[in-house]
Structure 1
Amino acid sequence: MAGIENITKVIARDAEIEAAQIITSAEKAADELKQKAEAEAEKLSKAADERLDKKVADERKKIQSQNEQIEKLRLLKQKQQIIEDTLNKAKEKILGYDDKTYFGTLLKILESSVQADKGVLFLNSKDLGRIPDDFDKEINVVATKNGGTLEVGKEPANINGGFILKYGNIEINSSIDALFEENEEKLVDIINSVLFKDITD
């Protein structure tokens, strides 16, 4: 009987030792698993924060870029409006010249558009009503220098100012509107150089 008791005690002792080892191992494994889970959770949280930070930064950058683009478009539109207003005022200034200055300007324009041929110069109805007495003579002085002749047409032209030259079937539109349109690029460059010389695009 004593032998069996000894064996039982040994088995019990071994079982306790084994159980203790199992518990220790389980506790160690659980602790390692917990630490690993916490580390993984922290890693995921950090990654999520980084992604969120990046997304927020990207959105801020996008909004800033959009705001800058909107501001550029606003300034461009404002600049275009200033240029358009300046051109219109310049045109109105020419059309508002007193008779002597206005018809003197037409003669200067005529010098660059007259042809070496017999032609007719057409004015609008307003200009026909205030034409200087010697204007017909003056336009022929210019025409003769270029080997041609001119007379003022009796029918009014449908233009805002300036004139239209007609040589047979050929028409040369030297109206104020046409001249501004034809030279728009050059005029815009001049306005830019004067009004926006210190502003970069």
Structure 2
Amino acid sequence: MLNELIQSKEFVAAVIGGVIAGFFSILATKMAFKHQQGQSENNEKIIISSLLQAIHDELETVYERYQVTMGARLESIRENEPLNFYYPLVSDFFSVYNGNTFLIGRINDNDLRKQIIKTYTLSKGMVDSFRLNNDLVHKFEYANKLYEETKQEVHKQHAIAHYNSLISYAATLKQGHGALKSEIFALLRTLRKNGVLSELAK
């Protein structure tokens, strides 16, 4: 009887010990998962913060260069005046954005994400517009050169037509420049409000 009682107590103790061990094992697993989840969220926050800093720096740098080389010239164009000027264009102005498009969708702020995409879309569209203007400049210069060499009326008319196209397109470029400038300034302000500059200062 005594042996049975002892064995019963040992069994109960073993069960209780097992329950306690199981409880702490589950608790430890939950804590480890929670810690891992917190670490993952923190890493994600750092990645997105770094991306926003890089976007801010890229836009600010590219815009400053653009404004010096072309923006100011475009703003000074008068009505019915062409942009008869080649604008050298590299293959990729936006390496940060193009290299991290897979991260853009992970920006939680819907308005900020949309604003970034809109600004870069307008920027790329402006690059394409300058390429088209470069093409018009080339066509005008070629037709004008042929006219000067041959004095044939057909080449003169071609040159006039291309020149008029340049005048018309200059107005389009100027309008696009104004819209792009507004979007870039708005995005830079938003990024700064989101603490980009304070993050850079750390």
TM tier, smaller: 0.3 to 0.5
- The structure whose residues are more often helix, as a share, is 2
TM-score calculated relative to the size of structure 2? 0.42
- The structure whose residues are more often strand, as a share, is 1
Larger of the two Rg values belongs to structure: 1
Which has the higher relative contact order, 1 or 2, with Cα contacts under 8 A spaced 6 or more apart? 2
